[in-house]
Amino acid sequence: MIHRKTEQEIELMRESNQIVSDVHRLLMSHVKPGARVSELDAMAEDFIRASGALPAFKGYSSGSRSIPDFPATLCVSIDDEVVHGIPTERALEEGQIVSIDVGTEKNGFFGDGAITLPVGRVDPEKQRLMDVTRESLFRGIAKAVPGGKLQDISAAIQQHVEENGFAVVRDLVGHGIGRKLHEEPPVPNFGRAGNGPTLDVGMTLAIEPMVNYGSFKVRIAANGWTVLTRDGSASAHFEHTVYISKDGPVTLTNHFERKNG
Ligand code: MG
């Protein structure tokens, strides 16, 4: 069942998602060669807790008893890591691209967003991968309108990615969000316009294209969490939480980024 939010609930979601944006803004200046991923994670956790919120990913269950709960505040996924990278003492290196995914919970409502950032100077093709992924997110968001179909979003993302020669990950998708981090409906980054549930006022969706430089195929690392490209090529990830208002899409995360997006 898809939960539609009231205007009061949207205000609470705005608060959780604002914290997500604030964490991204905070970390942007710290993503540079030599920075330790564990330090970024600690910074994010301190900020979220000081904002009266909880880190939503920490302690998240994989649903499998053989895999420990997610141990950190951030998912930090570097180069060929697609998503769900676990922060370690590892230091960032010049030329890497780093996806930072942030989840928050405040007043019973969740926020979720991700950006991919360059570490120092990066290869122009990696930059193009990041640019196309971010653009595809905005193409998808533009289709989040009342009366549209869910896969209008999916198709817009897929078309932009594939026109630019990259591949959309199939095994992971975006999601509804609200009182739970992951709600109905799933929001694939591939599909056919005109298909899927009808979009309606009050729906809140985490739209999150994961785009690989090479093949769309992925594998899971030995830690049970981290998703990697199977061919070792780089991958980028951008995510916004979006509210469908009567006037169209309202992005609840990363307002600052829209100026460049
Ligand atoms: Mg998400």
CA–centroid distance, 48 to ligand 1, in Å, is 17
pLDDT value for 258: 46
CA distance linking residue 184 with residue 90, whole number of Å: 35
pTM for the predicted model, two decimal places: 0.96
Q: Which of 208, 206, 159 is nearest to 181 (CA)?
A: 206
- CA dist., res. 39 & res. 42, Å (int): 5
Q: What is the b/e burial string over 1-18, where b = at least 16 CB atoms within 10 angstroms of the residue's CB?
A: ebeebeeebbebbbbbbb
DSSP letter, residue 223: T
**Domain 7-251 belongs in CATH node 3.90.230.10:** yes
Query: At a CB cut-off of 8 Å and minimum separation 6, what does 2 contact?
Result: 176, 183, 184, 185, 197, 200, 203
- Contacts of residue 242, defined as CB under 8 A and 6 or more positions apart, other chains included, come to 141, 144, 204, 205, 206, 207, 249, 250, 251, 252
Q: Which of 170, 18, 214 is nearest to 107 (CA)?
A: 18
Q: What is the pLDDT along the chain (261 residues), one digit of tens a residue?
A: 899 999 999 999 999 999 999 999 999 999 999 999 999 999 999 999 999 999 999 999 988 889 999 999 999 999 999 999 999 999 999 999 999 999 999 999 999 999 999 999 999 999 999 999 999 999 999 999 999 999 999 999 999 999 999 999 999 999 999 999 999 999 999 999 999 999 999 999 999 999 999 999 999 999 999 999 999 999 999 999 999 999 999 999 976 554 443
Cα 74 to ligand 1 centre (Å)? 12
| CB-CB contact of 116 with 81 (8 Å) | no
What is the Å distance from ligand 1's center to 127 Cα?
A: 22
- Tracing tokens 């998602």 back to the chain, one arrives at 17
Residues 6+ apart with CB under 8 A from 100: 24, 27, 31, 40, 74, 75, 76, 114, 115, 116, 117
* Domain boundary assignment for the chain: 7-251
Which backbone phi and psi does 75 adopt, to 5 degrees? -100, 120
Q: How close is the Cα of 135 to the center of ligand 1, in Å?
A: 17
The confidence score (pLDDT) of residue 63 equals 87
Ligand 1 centroid to Cα of residue 238, in Å, is: 10
